[in-house]
Amino acid sequence: MSDYIRIEKAMTYMSEHVSSQPTLEDVAAHVHLSPFHFHRVFCKWAGTTPKRFLQALTLERSKRMLKEEGSLMDVSLRMGLSGGSRLYDHFVKLEAVTPGEYKNGGQGVTIQYGVNETPFGKIFVAMTPRGVCRIEFLGSRSADEILVDIGKDWPKGSLVQNDNATNYVANVLFSRLKDGQSNPLSLHVMGTNFQVAVWRALLRIPSGQLASYSQIANALGYPKASRAVGNAVGSNPVAMLIPCHRVIQKSGAIGGYRWGSTKKEMIQAWEFLREEPIEL
């Protein structure tokens, strides 16, 4: 079992058993490591301690953030601010597929793809020369199934596997590159005008903060379009880089996530710790 798989299993175990507050020994035993070794491996790959991660999970941060940051969210969206997010220190530029590119079906375009490991499980990454066009966590779907969808979007494109090229994207996502080594990441996505507008709005939610579907609808000038916003969020083709995991229900409930609510909660806790470390 790789360290990545162990950390994913440990995070999932803590998320699913947060009400019983498992000890370090409990979680270490679940991934078949000694407490000392597990603590060291977890810190290395998750960037925080098991105790701090569990603390973040136990916070009712969803309701608290929605209550405290609601006005900040609206201002951030209207002004186009991205906040002090570490995830976007390198910034992310979103470009939509043009009508001409859509009509040509990707003719002459080479799409590189690969599968890379992360603390939250394996991810599938695909990118055109203009930017990342697809990121999905594997599990509910296989890489072959995702490739079928990409083939439908780009029927005349050439698909080439290149795990080394896509590994760079995974490294930027989880800040494993040394300072100054990462270049700006571009996204090259296919969607309707409304979907693209929603995805741009998601990019403006600061890391470690959350917003509701209705807040995004209001900020876009469509206060009655919460359901449509939800559909656009669910259609996000680029996990993590377009942060659909930062959107929750108005009530504070975590809401749906294509790759499961447990993974969504794990990512939220991880980002929360990166932006606002919890004092021990």
Tell me how far apart the alpha carbons of residues 276 and 257 are, in angstroms, rounded to a whole number.
Answer: 24
Q: Which of 203, 244, 247, 248 is catalytic?
A: 244
Tokens linked to 208: 């470690």
- Could you tell me which of 261, 273, 270, 3 has the C-alpha nearest to residue 137? 261
Q: Are 191 and 99 in contact (CB under 8 A)?
A: no
* 43 belongs to the catalytic site: no
Dihedral (CA of 211, 214, 216, 218) sign: negative
Tokens linked to 254: 């975590």
Tell me how far apart the alpha carbons of residues 244 and 211 are, in angstroms, rounded to a whole number.
Answer: 10
- Strand spans (E) along 207-262: 211-212, 247-248
Q: What angle do CA 205, 167, 230 make, to 5 degrees?
A: 30
- Annotate 129-176 with DSSP letters as a single string: TTEEEEEEESSSS-HHHHHHHHHHHSTTSEEEE-HHHHHHHHHHHTT-
The residue behind tokens 């929605």 is 66
- Catalytically annotated residues: 244
